[in-house]
Amino acid sequence: MGGLLALVILVSSSLLMFPSPAASLPLCTDSRSPSAPTTPLTFCPYNGSTCCNSTEDSQLQKQFQAMNVSDSGCATILKSILCAKCDPFSAELFTVATTPRPVPILCNSTVLANSSQSQAETDFCFTVWDTCQNVSIFNSPFAPSLQGQAGILVNASFTKLTALWQSKGDFCKAFGGASLDESVCFDGQAVKLNSTEAPSPPKGLCLEKIGNGSYLDMAAHPDGSNRAFFSDQKGYIWLATIPEQGSGGILEIDQSSPFLDLTDEVHFDVQFGLMGIAIHPNFAENGRLFASFNCDKSKWPGCAGRCACNSDVNCDPSQLPSDGGSQPCQYQTVIAEYSANGSASQPSKAKSAQPIEVRRIFTMGLPFTAHHAGQILFGPADGYLYFMMGDGGSPNNSGDPYNFSQNKKSLLGKIMRLDVDNIPSVDQINKLGLWGNYSIPSNNPFTEDNGLQPEIWAVGMRNPWRCSFDAARPSYFMCGDVGQDTYEEVDLITKDGNYGWHAYEGPYRYASEGNTSVQAKNFILPVLGYNHSQVNNKLGSASITGGYFYRSTTDPCMYGRYLYADLYAGALWAAVETPENSGNFTSSEIPFSCATDSPIKCDSVQGSSLPSLNYIYSFGEDNRKDIYILAYNGVYRVVRPSRCSYTCPKESVTNVSAPAPSTQPSGANLLVCRYSSLVCLVASLWLFLCGNM
């Protein structure tokens, strides 16, 4: 997109065992996304996306041959069981809680029933027993563990199932599992989820306006109350109270009394500012909060850090052209920790925090003035801090000409995953080449690919703008990634995923095939997106704003859909996954209206009664899972469909609205973390998000 809005408008303003996801997702046992192998598999008959490459396929073949199974029927079954490692759903097939299994969960709907039941004869687990019970298998994967459970091999020898297990029922209690809507099991064939038609999209989305501020982000207070943090691009963070739906109340926020004032440190401009905040999941007890912002080292010596253009990535800062009058790495991206301790008897009751850094987490110089994203959020299942970083742009803000996104040694164009609860020693920082005071989670992808920088979780991003974890399924980590000239995308982020930029822009080839600098394997296509030609707006531009899965009971017809938007068009989309947990999404633009009893009158599109959201900067989610749209024109909340005369058959008196969380902090040590929130004061945020797209 070309051009820039001339007007910049300022608006005053351990280790816990978490439950595994309740639903399956195409995912490999090493937490990577399945992909098409570059060399076809010859032993395991998996076509398309798989969790094996040709080397692993060969290893499985050798393992099978070593079993030396003489019975052809049993051999066929054993081959299919071994090859289930290559199934796109292998993560769930081979894992129960956090314990790996030697064989997949074998389908058995009568796993706890008596083996004499007739239905049991049709179950795959029983078929395995009936076929292989008297067949000798060397190094049998069905040997019981020392604890009497499926898992650890007792000894390496020829054994029969009848020698290892007393009965078919005992065998299938150890290896069987039911095929339920929310789980998968192995029946000898590739896992297939029940195919269902996509439900009809909701008639429309009903909104109420509860605030006039132009906010960029929102983070629910981790104490579970009806409070949330808001912040603006200039550097202010506020703590606000959210009114109960239908009360007629508006957002209670005192602009004159910020929770934290970082304006002295933050460099604020169209493309720079306070980019993200993350509230520690245990904030109610430890008072820790984190801010991601930009600073100018020419004005603040404490800002300076190592330049992202450096010898490790074959880049010379002295050779980079200036960008808008600034020098390479004059501006930095920073993550810093602050504390609300000491300002109240308990952190959960704090109304302010000290603007003094407790710890500098991360500092990196930016080569140019665009595409630096900056969102931070805590993973709800692992407690680690995720940091979204764009490709760094270029003087004309296009194309990632220095190939930062695909460079494994560069942190630009990446999603990073940091441990901020364990402070590393100086020796550890130097050994790993860290960019600040954080540790590296032990299962980050670099442990399997030592070519990667240890901070990296996923690569190939252009400018990730607004990511979120599904509150119902923490394995679903969705990110909107701003496109260049053609396509806006939403990616389902997995460990070590490569999302293609700048070799691909969404599903389209971007860099030329002959450009060896962008040749990479196993690019992951977006699960959602739209072409720029599909978006009509006065700027002729497009820029995606990633959203949330809707998990509130307020609008039951929206439940389970992923809601996202375009920054410029003021358009909203609702996407549904069909079949559920398959990773296959269909999306439709959804109409929206403003409730007639909205606490604040909604601005209307000229010549129409429809509400005008103008620029949609971000989304938010509160502790009740209600969704908020953070737009240039104000703060909007999704409310009951009937308040806009939309028909939702699922809406009833009993599910109209859950009780509002208490205004008073509970002080409970909640494990659920919420996502960062900021205020945007700039009407021309588009360049900051996507530069010249």
Task: Please report how many Cα atoms fall inside a 13 Å half-sphere around the Cα of residue 425, on the Cβ side.
Answer: 3
Go through the domains of the chain in sequence order and give each one's CATH number: 54-177 (no CATH), 205-653+673-690 (2.120.10.30)
Chain centroid to CA 392: how far?
21
Mode of pairing for the β-strands spanning 562-566 and 414-418: unpaired
Sheet with 260-261, strands from edge to edge, namely 217-220, 227-231, 236-241, 260-261
pLDDT at 179: 54
For residue 684, pLDDT beyond 50: no
pLDDT tier at 679, thresholds 50, 70, 90 = very low
Q: What is the pLDDT of residues 7-39, one digit of tens each?
A: 233 233 332 322 333 356 788 888 788 888 878
Percent of the chain at pLDDT above 90?
A: 60
Mean pLDDT of the chain: 84
Element (H, E) at 617: strand 616-621
Least Cα distance to 600 among 211, 201, 339 occurs for: 211
What is the pLDDT averaged over residues 359-380? 96
pLDDT tier at 182, thresholds 50, 70, 90 = low
Q: What is the pLDDT of residues 310-329, one digit of tens each?
A: 999 999 999 998 888 888 99
For residue 207, pLDDT beyond 90: yes
pLDDT at 334: 98
Contact 333, 389 (CB under 8 A): yes
**Residue 55 neighbours by CB distance under 10 Å:** 10
Output the pTM of the full model: 0.82
Q: What is the pLDDT of residues 629-660, one digit of tens each?
A: 999 999 999 999 999 999 999 897 544 444 44
CA distances from 398 to 264, 371, 510 (A): 31, 10, 11
CA distances from 173 to 90, 99, 112, 187, 487 (A): 20, 16, 7, 16, 49
pLDDT tier at 419, thresholds 50, 70, 90 = very high
Please indicate whether residue 470 or residue 46 has the higher confidence score (pLDDT): 470
pLDDT at 539: 60
pLDDT at 11: 30
pLDDT at 554: 96
pLDDT at 666: 39
pLDDT at 501: 95
Q: What is the pLDDT of residues 526-580, one digit of tens each?
A: 999 999 988 876 566 799 999 999 999 999 999 999 999 999 988 999 999 998 8
Least Cα distance to 369 among 388, 402, 395 occurs for: 395
pLDDT at 537: 67
For residue 95, pLDDT beyond 70: yes
Whole-number Å distance between alpha carbons of 405 and 413: 4
Q: What is the pLDDT of residues 110-136, one digit of tens each?
A: 544 443 334 444 589 999 999 999 999
Whole-number Å distance between alpha carbons of 314 and 551: 45
What is the pLDDT averaged over residues 507-521? 67
pLDDT tier at 40, thresholds 50, 70, 90 = confident
For residue 583, pLDDT beyond 70: yes
pLDDT at 17: 28
pLDDT at 123: 84
What is the pLDDT averaged over residues 60-79? 94
